[in-house]
Structure 1
Amino acid sequence: MYFNANNIIKKRIRFGLSHDANQLNIAYGIDKNFFLGCAVSITSILLANPNLDFSFHIFTNYINDDLELKLEQLADKYNTNITIYLVDDNSLSHLPTTKNWTIATYFRFIVADYFYEKMDKILYLDADITCKGSLQELVTLKFDDNIAYVVTEKDPIWWNKCATRLNEHKLSSGYFNAGFLLIDLKKWKEFSVNSKALELLSDSNLSENFTHLDQDVLNIILLEKVKYLDRKYNQQVSINYELKYKSSVNGYSPILDETILIHYIGPTKPWHKWARDYKCSQYFLDAKSASPWKSTSLLSAITATQWRYCAKHRLHQKKLLSGLICYLKYCLRKIKNPRY
Structure 2
Amino acid sequence: MINLLFSLNENYVFPLKVLIRSILDTNPDETFCMYLLHTGIRDETLEELRTFIEKEGHVFEPIYSKNYFKSSDKVAITRYYALEMYLWMFAPYILPDHVDRVLYLDPDIICLNKVRPLYTKPFHGNSFIATNYKYKTKWVQPFNNLRLRNFESDDYFNSGVVLMNLEKLRKIENADHIVETIRENKPFLILPDQDIFNLIFVNDIKEEDWRVYNMNPKVYEKLRILFPQKYNYSKVEENVVFIHYSGKYKPWDEREKYKYALGRYYFEAEKKVYPGLHKLETSRKGRKR
* Deviation readout 1:6-50 (Å, 9 max, x if unpaired): xxxxxxxxxxxxxxxxx1100100111111111111111111111
Q: For 1:173-322, what aligned pairs fall within 5 Å after superposition?
A: 173-203=154-184, 206-231=185-210, 232-238=212-218, 257=236, 258-275=239-256, 278=259, 279-291=261-273, 293-296=274-277
Residue in 1 aligned with 2:131? 151
Cα displacement (A) at 1:90: 7.5
Counterparts in 2 of 1:50-89, with a 5 A limit?
A: 50-60=28-38, 61-65=40-44, 68-69=47-48, 71-76=50-55, 78-89=56-67
User: Structure with the greater relative contact order (CA < 8 A, sep ≥ 6): 1 or 2?
Assistant: 2
- Specify the alignment match of 1:125 in structure 2: 105
Partner Cα distance (1:29, 1:66) in 2: 15
Partner of 1:20: none
Aligned partner of 2:287 in structure 1 is none
Cα distance in 2 for partners of 1:90, 1:195 equals: 8
Separation of aligned partners in 2, 1:67 and 1:121: 24
2:78 paired with 1:135: no
Q: Identity over the aligned pairs, expressed in percent? A: 22
In the TM superposition, residue 178 of structure 1 has moved relative to its aligned partner by 1.0
Task: Supply the distance in 1 between the matched residues of 2:13 and 2:70 (Cα, whole angstroms).
Answer: 20
Q: Conserved in 1, the CA contact under 8 Å of 2:131 and 2:209?
A: yes
Residue 129 of structure 2 aligns to a residue in which SS? Answer: strand
CA 1:276/1:259 → structure 2, altered by over 3 Å: closer, same or farther? farther
Q: 1:260 to 1:62 in 2, by over 3 A?
A: same
Matched residues, number: 264
| Secondary structure, aligned partner of 1:97 | coil
Contact 1:96 1:213 in 2 (8 A): no
Cα distance in 2 between the residues matched to 1:92 and 1:281: 39
Aligned 8 A contact 1:58 1:85 in 2: yes
State the Cα RMSD in Å.
2.9
Deviation at 1:105, TM superposition (A): 0.5
Q: Structure 1 CA distance, aligned partners of 2:112 and 2:143? A: 31
Cα contact 1:129–1:263 (8 A) shared by 2: yes
Deviates more, 1:35-44 or 1:96-105: 96-105
The one-letter amino acid paired with 1:29 is: S
- Residue identity matched to 2:187: E
Contact 2:217 2:263 (C-alpha < 8 Å) held by counterparts: no
Cα separation, 2, equivalents of 1:88 and 1:120: 21
Aligned-partner Cα distance in 2 for 1:266–1:275: 17
Cα deviation digits, residues 233-257 of structure 1 (max 9, x gap): 1122359x98x9xxxxx9xx89752
Indicate the SS of the match to 1:224. helix
Give TM-score scaled by structure 1 length.
0.69
Unaligned runs of at least 5 residues, structure 1: 1-22, 245-249, 299-340
Gaps of 5+ in 2: 223-227, 280-289
Name whichever structure is richer in helix by fraction. Answer: 2
Q: Quick check: 2:26–2:112 contact (8 Å CA) kept in 1?
A: yes
Give me the whole-angstrom Cα distance separating, in 2, the residues matched to 1:167 and 1:74.
42
Q: Which residue of 2 aligns with 1:334?
A: none
SS of corresponding position for 2:247:
coil
Cα distance change, pair 228–47 in 1 and its aligned pair in 2 (3 A) = same
TM-score when normalising by structure 2: 0.80
